[in-house]
Amino acid sequence: MYVCRVVISVALLLIMIVAPTAQAQQLQSVLSPEIIINLPSRTLTLYSGETLVKEYPIAIGKPSTPTPLGSFAIIQKEVNPVWIPPGKGYVVPSGPDNPLGYRWMGFLPLYGVHGTNAPWAIGLAVSNGCVRMLEEDAEELYEVVRYGTPLKITYERVKVRVDESGQASIGIYPDVYGYRQVSLADVKNKLVEYGLTGMASESFLIKQLQDEPDKQIAFAKFFNLKVNDKVLNEHGVIIDDVLYIPIWPVATAKKSNVVWNDATRTIAIDKQSAPGVIMGDVIYVTLANLDKLYGGQNSWDSNENLLEINQINVLFNGKFVASDVRTINNVLAVPATQFVALLGQKVSWDASKQNLLVDGGAIPITMLDDRAYLQITKINEFFKAHVYWNESARTIEITYPFKN
């Protein structure tokens, strides 16, 4: 049966002198190009090795003349192809009336990827089995692919993707040919395959199955991590606007010991503990709980998609005494009882635990996670100690007694 029949024209001799578009010239640097066509999503994806380069919308064969599945290769290329309509006995030359457009990339004797004079059809299942692209897309792809370029046609109704910005998404696509049903277990298995277990809630996945949105829906976003000026290989992830941090890489960068209690699903560092979450094979802690465990300073760089976590050390008369530093109302704060003990002062609480009573005087403090913290601006005010915030070294340097 004829599907798409092409006649090699004189234009084939002009292939080498056709000027590529500017973007096509950039894509010509693609090494080891490979094409993956997925029929349910009606997409053609160009890879360079294992790296995704670009995805294009396509039209595919209608159910009565489906696009074939399997692994193929580009075996024919032509500029300005001539079309012979199946069973009609006449020829349609290259031009605006030719449904093959102006580029042909054959992967079987009667099947190919080509342009189209009907851009409205892109995204539909309407062809006789060939793969149609928007004309500008077909011309761009033509400049990239070579004879022998691998081309694989799949039928994946569930697509999981992590794009170059770190955004993870999932798409449930229609069963265009009635080949395959999709279950919740299928969706979960696809997340396991990509190492994204636990990053999408079951209720979210069920809704995607019910709605069958026919597009990618984002559910998480990965971001870069820098700890004490060192960029980590591992990444954090944002889910429902909550930042999750992989605890082990951070602990390694901070040179601290972590204890994971599998029964209680908690993380312990020194005397502090916080709940952890297992996603994939990684233990994460929320940014708020990371602050509880470590303190320090955090800053977000949206341009770099980067969270910077910096440890702050407290020096008392030149000696390290603590790194448990918090930020309260944009002011750094140190552990109150530990600091007062360094001064040799006796400490007691008032009934409300809003003040420390030191030698009869009330000093305002803030309770965080059952620990009292004292803002560094109050240290000089109440104790006449000299406090210097060394931002470049990330140290709070306290001198006592202080003499001008």
Show which residues are catalytic.
114, 130
d(CA 77, CA 104): 6
d(CA 1, CA 344): 96
Q: What do you get for the CA distance between the two ends of the chain, in Å? A: 98
Q: Contact at 8 Å (CB) between 273 and 316?
A: no
- The identity of residue 75, as a single letter, is I
d(CA 7, CA 359): 99
Would you mind telling me the total number of residues written for the chain in this entry?
404
- The identity of residue 55, as a single letter, is E
Q: Contact at 8 Å (CB) between 267 and 258?
A: yes
Q: What is the CA radius of gyration of the chain?
A: 31
322-326 CB contacts, 8 Å cutoff, 24+ apart: 323/294, 323/295, 323/296, 324/294, 324/295, 324/371, 325/295, 325/296, 325/297, 325/396, 326/291, 326/295, 326/368, 326/373
3-class DSSP state for residue 210?
Answer: helix
Query: For residue 278, what is the DSSP state?
Result: E
Pairing relationship of beta strands 103-108 and 111-114 according to DSSP bridges? antiparallel
Environment class of residue 14 by beta-carbon count within 10 Å: exposed (0-12), middle (13-18) or buried (19+)? exposed
* Helix H or strand E encompassing 247: helix 247-254
Structure-block tokens of residue 308: 């910077």
d(CA 152, CA 129): 15
Residue 223, strand partner residues: 236
